[in-house]
Amino acid sequence: MNTESFAIRHIGVREEDLKKMLEIVGVESLDELIEQAIPSDILLKENLNLPEALSEPEFLNLIEALSKKNRIFKSYIGLGYHESMTPSVIKRNILENPGWYTAYTPYQAEIAQGRLEALLNFQTVVTDLTGMEIANASLLDESTAAAEAMTMLFDVRSRQQKKHNVLKFFVSEEVLPQTLSLLETRSAPLNIELVIGDHQEFDLTPDYFGALLQYPGKYGQVHDYSGFVKKAQDNDIKVAVAADILSLVMLTPPGEWGVDVVVGTTQRFGIPLGYGGPHAAFFATKEAYKRHIPGRIIGLTRDTDGNPALRMALQTREQHIKRDKATSNICTAQVLLAVMAGMYAVYHGPKGLMNIAHRIHKYTKTIAQSISAYGFEQLNDVYFDTIQFKVDNLNAIRAIAESRGINFNYIDHETISIALNEAFTEKDIHPLVDCFAESKAQDHDVRIMEHEGQVIPAELVRKGTFLTHETFNSYHSETELMRYIKKLERKDLALNHSMISLGSCTMKLNAASEMLPLSWANWGNIHPYAPIDQAEGYHVVIKELEEQLNIITGFAATSLQPNSGAQGEYAGLMTIRAYHRSRGEEHRNICIIPASAHGTNPASAVMAGMQVVVTKTDEKGNIDVIDLEEKVNQYTDNLAALMVTYPSTHGVFESSIRYITKLIHDNGGQVYMDGANMNAQVGLTNPAAIGADVCHLNLHKTFAIPHGGGGPGVGPICVAEQLKPFLPSNPIIKTGGEKAITAISAAPWGSALACLISYGYIKMLGARGLTDATKIAILNANYIKERLHGSYEVLYAGENGRAAHEMIIDCRPFKEHGIEVTDIAKRLMDYGFHAPTVSFPVAGTMMIEPTESEGLAELDRFCDAMISIKKEIDEVSIDNPNNVLKNAPHTLAMVTSDDWNFTYSRKKAAFPLDYVAENKFWPSVRRTDEAFGDRNLICTCPAIEEYAEV
């Protein structure tokens, strides 16, 4: 065994176990299994054309050498991105800690109380600083959050109030360019008409449903929007504000004007720039909109014993329930970054944040005064941290600045803006001012002028306190904060405890060597709008990763811009839309989607302006080809696309897939493949081979980016030649094809920093390792299938009786014992396991996906637990709900309580199998009460009295 190969670290199955497993599965060899699982007409004949694998040290050397090709400037570019300082205690204990970054989205609340609390902190920070009533637990970036605000307000107005002719949306010219581009993308398919203008001169008429303002404006001017908001309200027009989170520490919060939505990014709360992301955006609004908020909201409720417990409130599985009626397709968000930003506020507390904001403001005043003293005209009189100057010698200033490692924002040939940030110190004043002094003055005598006056008028100064809750006022020594973070971490079950076999989500190893570079300043500290030649290291990685993904998918081109799978779906459908339009076929708007599709599919299709037609699945779980043929015939003239997941969400490689994709092409449609299940394809087949035209990949599933407790994600799209011209661009730094659609994400290459992980994953596995990983993923699934045989019925299988990389087990028959699928999910916690995916795509079932990273011992523990639970179900009778399943999970408090009123033993409750005892994980609360929490919605850190009411 070559212990220097990364493949043996990533792939969990040991050589000596392989034989045993193949025997149980009933095949002679791994290849025999693969031939049974995958239809022969799509099996690739050639190996992936990728270079040899690198060892871990080789990769670390490479990525370090590449990092040195990035040049780190002092960036005063602003435009929604600012250098920030990640407190080391947060970096070490959260960003670099698998206890946090390998967790899943907190659907199983009882084993996720830690990150739920951290997210409640984040929501509290956002609500307090914006002055709004309620906030969600993060969105993808500021620009998409602004687009979500627009569509939410539109939806409320047009759908709820049935005002279908109110289609105009006002956008202030102060709005960031990337946000404007995103609004263009998102408004077009919905027939929303954007009107861009100066808010001071603009007359709102009743044909507007809403407006978006930027606070402070894109080049720093702070406007008092109270009059605008008042006028809008008089006309029943809703107002959204995109606000800078740090400025809100000093400025009047928009909530006080009565606005409807406030969005923004929390990047400057301790999150590295990372050449564009990932960062957590926020979305805050009024209670009245609580059922329309995109994404996830964390709320307080009670558990079975009446103790306080947190869980995702209201629309937890929004798209899954509402599908094509959903207002948003947000699924993966930015949880890890929201956790960090919330913790940054815990670290600094209200006084620390005030200090930082006041210091930045003071330096900004000094810089403004000093530059003005050289005769440059300052264009904005009211500002927080960003100032704008008119200059007649921009090129000279720029040349000096770049020679000193400084970036300003060059707005046009005679205007510069300068945005200061938390990292700015006394020492930085001189070099900054000098760029202007030297460009003008003969002598090099830099004069620094203090500015004693008040530049923010009294009515725009925040009054009153914020972040008064004790969480933000208690953990200010490193010892205290380290322990607080640990206390939360211990409540959460993550991959560093046990297998998380979430079907469709691919919870595989996130290797340490893949993660390490994320902490390095040479990757972290680059502004997304820095000149391209400063980011050479990034561009090597981006170009190579795009090529790797082209090879893996068999496609012609890749865009890394989308920040999640759902954004990838939307981006892909928008390229299809642009393609049809370029051929004069804009009438093609029908998108056929199988009934079993993930909820984001129909939601994305509607956002892309398409009409969803659902096609049936047959009793074997395959697309019902006869039904599909009928639908295609019926809609042949207007067919835009088919969206298909492959292998299907039922965990099967459908053998008619090539017939299906040809049928769509013959009728003028394009085929979108949802690539969430790519882990079953890499190296063995690919989307091009099945006949698709475009797919998204979830780099946070198949390509080793950790789930982070619900994000970040990266959802690139890969496209065939004919769609390549339409790949998305960015208004500041051009990306994409020659007929590019407008932006899908704020940053040109989305979450560039996270792409390093997938790059490392592919580099260290190489063609052979990637293909082996796929084979073992399929083996592991089929091994579980065989072991559970006799205890659980597996719902679907391919023609030869094989699963792909995941399978669905039926839990509906247990209803006759009074047992629901949720009871099994909760009981698994007592055995130290996170439940598989519950009730997707079939209600009352579980979808199990072990991935290649798990070895035989862990697979066996999981199977033993499932089989043991099945025996427990058999013992239960429907008339007695006092049983080990209904009472699950069992907490330490229950088991050690002086009262024990259950009909089974404490040992059976908490230590049902021997392996549990040596590595027990204790759920920190009993089962959470969903309905109670939704009736009594509390979404910020509660005061003690509120706990008492619970």
Ligand X SMILES: *Cc1c(COP(=O)(O)O)cnc(C)c1O
- What residues from 461 to 520 belong to the interface with ligand X (CB under 6 A)? 504
- What residues from 658 to 687 belong to the interface with ligand X (CB under 6 A)? 674, 676
Separation of alpha carbons 693 and 178, rounded Å:
28
Residue 496: CB partners within 8 Å, gap ≥ 6?
98, 99, 102
Q: Which residues pair with residue 641 across a beta bridge?
A: 591, 670
Residue type, 20: K
The torsion angles phi and psi of 741, rounded to 5 degrees, stand at: -75, 165
Q: Closest CB to ligand X among 311 and 707?
A: 707
Q: Closest CB to ligand X among 5 and 564?
A: 564
Q: What 8-state DSSP symbol labels residue 157?
A: I
Q: Closest CB to ligand X among 805 and 861?
A: 805
Residue type, 273: L
Report in angstroms how near the CB of residue 922 gets to ligand X at its nearest.
29
Residue type, 516: L
Query: Looking at 187, 386, 510, 645, which residue binds ligand X (CB under 6 A)?
Result: 645
The torsion angles phi and psi of 611, rounded to 5 degrees, stand at: -100, 130
Q: Closest CB to ligand X among 691 and 713?
A: 713
Query: Looking at 7, 21, 79, 331, which residue binds ligand X (CB under 6 A)?
Result: 331
Report in angstroms how near the CB of residue 365 gets to ligand X at its nearest.
43
- Residue 649 is a binding residue for ligand X (CB under 6 A): yes
Phi-psi region of 19 (alpha: psi -120 to 50; beta: other; left: phi over 0): alpha
The pattern of x and - marking residues 111 through 150 that bind ligand X according to CB under 6 A reads ----------------------------------------
The pattern of x and - marking residues 516 through 555 that bind ligand X according to CB under 6 A reads ----------------------------------------
- The CA-atom distances, in angstroms, between 853 and each of 25, 47, 699, 798 are 18, 22, 16, 23
- Residue 566 is a binding residue for ligand X (CB under 6 A): yes
DSSP-derived secondary structure for 866-902? HHHHHHHHHH--TT---STTTTPSPPHHHHTSS----
Q: Closest CB to ligand X among 471 and 649?
A: 649
**Residue 554 tokens, joined:** 């068999």
Q: Closest CB to ligand X among 73 and 107?
A: 107
Q: Closest CB to ligand X among 55 and 839?
A: 839
Candidates 558, 583, 555, 579; CA nearest to 568 is 558
Q: What are the counts of helices (DSSP H) followed by strands (DSSP E) for the chain?
A: 31, 26
The torsion angles phi and psi of 12, rounded to 5 degrees, stand at: -85, -20
- Residue 565 is a binding residue for ligand X (CB under 6 A): yes
> Which region among 384-392, 562-570, 724-732, 814-822 touches ligand X (by CB under 6 A)?
562-570
> Which region among 30-38, 119-127, 559-567, 755-763 touches ligand X (by CB under 6 A)?
559-567
Q: Which residue has the tokens 């391919």?
A: 798
Phi-psi region of 270 (alpha: psi -120 to 50; beta: other; left: phi over 0): left
> Which region among 85-93, 149-157, 189-197, 564-572 touches ligand X (by CB under 6 A)?
564-572
Residue 880: CB partners within 8 Å, gap ≥ 6?
903
Q: Closest CB to ligand X among 676 and 767?
A: 676
> Which region among 441-449, 560-568, 685-693, 821-829 touches ligand X (by CB under 6 A)?
560-568
- Residue 713 is a binding residue for ligand X (CB under 6 A): yes
Q: Closest CB to ligand X among 560 and 732?
A: 560
CB closest to ligand X, residue no? 565
The pattern of x and - marking residues 277 through 316 that bind ligand X according to CB under 6 A reads ----------------------------------------
Q: Closest CB to ligand X among 331 and 467?
A: 331
> Which region among 125-133, 561-569, 803-811, 890-898 touches ligand X (by CB under 6 A)?
561-569
Q: Closest CB to ligand X among 455 and 714?
A: 714
Residue 88: CB partners within 8 Å, gap ≥ 6?
none
Q: Closest CB to ligand X among 84 and 600?
A: 600
Q: Closest CB to ligand X among 566 and 682?
A: 566
- Residue 924 is a binding residue for ligand X (CB under 6 A): no
- Residue 598 is a binding residue for ligand X (CB under 6 A): yes
Query: Looking at 369, 501, 559, 600, which residue binds ligand X (CB under 6 A)?
Result: 600
Residue type, 216: P
Q: Closest CB to ligand X among 387 and 680?
A: 680
Angle, helices 30-37 vs 752-788, to 10°: value is 90
Compute how many residues bind ligand X; rule: CB under 6 A: 15
Cα distance from N-terminal residue to C-terminal residue, the chain = 57
Report in angstroms how near the CB of residue 637 gets to ligand X at its nearest.
29
- Residue 596 is a binding residue for ligand X (CB under 6 A): no
Separation of alpha carbons 36 and 779, rounded Å:
11
**Residue 358 tokens, joined:** 């006041």
Report in angstroms how near the CB of residue 799 gets to ligand X at its nearest.
22
Report in angstroms how near the CB of residue 503 gets to ligand X at its nearest.
8
Separation of alpha carbons 713 and 705, rounded Å:
7
Give the HSE-up count for residue 13: Cα atoms under 13 Å, Cβ half-sphere.
25
Query: Looking at 151, 564, 661, 887, which residue binds ligand X (CB under 6 A)?
Result: 564
> Which region among 344-352, 377-385, 563-571, 847-855 touches ligand X (by CB under 6 A)?
563-571
The pattern of x and - marking residues 843 through 882 that bind ligand X according to CB under 6 A reads ----------------------------------------
Separation of alpha carbons 19 and 584, rounded Å:
58
- Residue 648 is a binding residue for ligand X (CB under 6 A): no
Report in angstroms how near the CB of residue 837 gets to ligand X at its nearest.
8
Q: Closest CB to ligand X among 593 and 797?
A: 593
Report in angstroms how near the CB of residue 512 gets to ligand X at its nearest.
23
Q: What 8-state DSSP symbol labels residue 115?
A: H
Q: Which residue has the tokens 């179900």?
A: 873
**Residue 301 tokens, joined:** 């409720």
Candidates 222, 166, 167; CA nearest to 193 is 167
CA 290 vs. chain centroid, Å, equals: 21
Q: What 8-state DSSP symbol labels residue 168?
A: E
Collapsing DSSP states into helix, strand and coil, what is residue 169?
A: strand
The pattern of x and - marking residues 692 through 711 that bind ligand X according to CB under 6 A reads ------x-------------
Q: Closest CB to ligand X among 59 and 703?
A: 703
Report in angstroms how near the CB of residue 608 gets to ligand X at its nearest.
15
Query: Looking at 12, 39, 715, 923, which residue binds ligand X (CB under 6 A)?
Result: 715
Residues 667 and 695 sit within 8 Å (Cβ to Cβ) = no
Residue 199: CB partners within 8 Å, gap ≥ 6?
170, 172, 174, 211, 213, 223, 225, 228
Q: Closest CB to ligand X among 386 and 563?
A: 563
- Residue 252 is a binding residue for ligand X (CB under 6 A): no
**Helix or strand run (H / E) with residue 73:** none
Report in angstroms how near the CB of residue 623 gets to ligand X at its nearest.
15
Q: Report the 10 Å Cβ neighbour count for 402.
A: 17
Q: Report the 10 Å Cβ neighbour count for 648.
A: 24
Sites of contact with ligand X (CB under 6 A)? 331-332, 504, 564-566, 598, 600, 645, 649, 674, 676, 698, 713, 715
